[in-house]
Amino acid sequence: MNYVLPLIPALPLVAFVVTLFLGKWWLKDSAHWIPIVAMAASFVLSVAAFLAIRGEEHAIVVELWRWIPVGDFQVPIAFQLDQLSAVMLLVVTGVGTLIFIYSKGYMHHDPGYYRFFAYLSLFAFSMLMLVLGSNYLLLYLGWELVGLCSYYLIGFYYHKPSAASAGKKAFLTNRVGDFGFGIGVMLIFVTFGTLDYIEVFEKVEHHVASEGVLLAIGLLLFLGAMGKSAQFPLHVWLPDAMEGPTPVSALIHAATMVTAGVYMVARSSVIFASAPTAMLVVGAVGAFTAIFAASIGLAQNDIKRVMAYSTVSQLGYMFMALGIGAWVAAIFHLVTHAFFKALLFLGSGSVIHSLSGEQDMRKMGGLAKKIPFTYWTLMAGALALSGIVPFAGFWSKDEILGMNFKGGGYVIWAVGLIAAFITAFYTFRLIFMTFWGESRMDPEVEKHVHESPWSMVVPLMVLGVLSVFGGFLGFPPENGVFHKFLEPVFHQANEILHVEHHYFGMLDFVLMVVSVVVALSGVFFAYLFYVKRPDELPQKAGAVSQPLYKAILNKWYIDEFYNATIIRLTVDGSRWLWRVVDAGVIDGAVNGVGRLWDIAGRVVSPFQTGRVQNYAVVMFIGLFVIVTAVIVF
């Protein structure tokens, strides 16, 4: 393991460096090979790591070298392999490999081909560092690195102003969260004197810190998670991030990076378990985000934006689970979500690819026959997302809802249920608008509709299979293979929370039926609205709830609110600082100093006449004064 573990992030790093420096002149159109091979190798190593950690009680820590050895502040570059990081490794490298392969087809002919693969490799490296780090500073390092890659890749089409500003928006919004995260890390160090996971959690268990401090740490960490995982009110960047290429949306903004927040909270489960209020906040924010983002997803017409809001909403589910202490359920949903959301994004990408770049669902329709592979795989993903038995999303989502109900979080459960209904509705709205019904495509576009190349279809099929069967990892609910595997990681946190072991019972079955019925009704309503009577019902519904509809269409005016308050304030404040403080005071002072010496020079320079006798006379006068002074005094 000592050699395997460091190699997992090292391979993509090598791929990044090689591709970046050789890509432009040498690799060119074959720039994809090195990253794909590196990523696949990482995946194989991750499987090896997974096999090695299975059933182990303790984490394996591999220290490479001391990074920052300053007095008491010792930060090593060390990798920690436990069941949680093993799962994340598999998700990142597995889904990553598939998306790398997919990118080969999708990004073909793009002038920035090598650049794209270089960035993707850098991202893979950063994400693996984030997942593998054995202390909070390494987590923070990976956290910032993935944010940077996200910025690069959102703004990949940097010549497009909207893409460039979307990248900036993502970066700036994340800064808000990262600020909290950074302070949280500092607070951890101040409180516990170490940043190492194992040591910190041990000290938490021994009540080194008061609950107030733990609450503060928890909330600060969660602020970081809110930024990275796009939770309300810091969710605004994720929908805009869809400006990036679709593989990026799939890998970074659906499957892996945005789940970093979930990973981080799950990783800090001991801290959160010791601060119940923080958990409550996590759950509440998650539930609100779940329904809030789902509602916005209802009215979006851009296929990728629907997915984006869906991602925000599903991340909300994960935080809901974390809020109730259902750590495994959250990670389980993270995994299944990675499968089906990556699938959905890649499928949307395939649709967009076949339609020569069209993203507006109103200009699609009737595509099922023309691109059957895409249709069927996307259908599997949609069923998984909607939570239909027995697809992957059902098991994980139902477990979250069930645990909330049994844990007494009835409100959150109800909210989650409504969100599930909305999810099913908008998911199938997407399917129906895109693949069913009459064609609404431009005739010009329609002529060129074609199934995507194999490099794109194969990853879709693999992910489709995973979306269909992935849920059985967690079967039966709360006692599946997955749960047994992850048990050692959350052992400490569960002990603090006094979680009792549940077995599948009648109540669980009833709850399952309820959520299936809700999901199916969502699908049914979508069918009613967009297949049966697509010409009247949507308009009617829109007309009945006019203000609500408008609010949803405009994403609840969150962006406008930010524009009017924070951004406006910042811009006006900056302008004031520029005009008054910078131009007036600072420039004035600088210019004033310059002018002072200019004036002084003008005043004094006549004394330097260049005539030696003038100087001599002054000397003489000086001598005279001295002599006079000597005589007089």
Residue numbers at the binding site for another protein (CB under 8 A)? 604-614, 616-617, 620-621, 623-624, 627-628, 631
CB of 591 to another protein, least distance (A): 23
Distance (Å, whole) CA 516 – CA 510: 10
CB of 619 to another protein, least distance (A): 9
CB of 601 to another protein, least distance (A): 8
> Which of 547, 610 has the CB closer to another protein?
610
> Which of 546, 613 has the CB closer to another protein?
613
CB of 19 to another protein, least distance (A): 57
3-state DSSP of 161-176: HHHHHHHHHHHHHHHH
> Which of 546, 608 has the CB closer to another protein?
608
| Of the candidates 541, 546, 548, the residue with the CA atom closest to the CA atom of residue 526 | 541
CB of 625 to another protein, least distance (A): 10
> Which of 68, 625 has the CB closer to another protein?
625
**Radius of gyration (Cα) for the chain, nearest Å?**
30
Question: What does the block give as tokens for 509?
Answer: 């079955």
> Which of 548, 617 has the CB closer to another protein?
617
CB of 622 to another protein, least distance (A): 11
Beta-strand pair 60-70/73-81: antiparallel
CB of 626 to another protein, least distance (A): 11
Distance (Å, whole) CA 478 – CA 396: 10
For 413, the enclosing helix (H) or strand (E) is helix 410-435
| Of the candidates 68, 327, 80, 65, the residue with the CA atom closest to the CA atom of residue 200 | 80
> Which of 369, 602 has the CB closer to another protein?
602
CB of 621 to another protein, least distance (A): 7
Ranges of H-type helices in 436-453: 443-447
> Which of 590, 623 has the CB closer to another protein?
623
Number of Cα atoms under 13 Å in the Cβ half of residue 455: 16
Question: What does the block give as tokens for 42?
Answer: 């990482």
| DSSP-based three-state secondary structure for 501 | coil
Question: What does the block give as tokens for 539?
Answer: 């308009």
Contact between 422 and 68 (Cβ < 8 Å)? no
CB of 633 to another protein, least distance (A): 13
Return phi, psi of residue 61, to 5°. -115, 125
Q: Is 184 exposed, middle or buried (0-12, 13-18, 19+ CB in 10 A)?
A: buried
Nearby residues of 157 by Cβ (< 8 Å), 6 or more positions away: 163, 243, 244, 245
CB of 598 to another protein, least distance (A): 13
Distance (Å, whole) CA 471 – CA 333: 9
247 upstream amide cis, omega within 30 of 0: no
> Which of 68, 623 has the CB closer to another protein?
623
Q: Is 90 exposed, middle or buried (0-12, 13-18, 19+ CB in 10 A)?
A: middle
> Which of 65, 607 has the CB closer to another protein?
607
Question: What does the block give as tokens for 604?
Answer: 């004094």
CB neighbourhood size of 1 (10 A) = 14
CB of 631 to another protein, least distance (A): 6
> Which of 546, 605 has the CB closer to another protein?
605
> Which of 64, 626 has the CB closer to another protein?
626
Distance (Å, whole) CA 263 – CA 350: 29
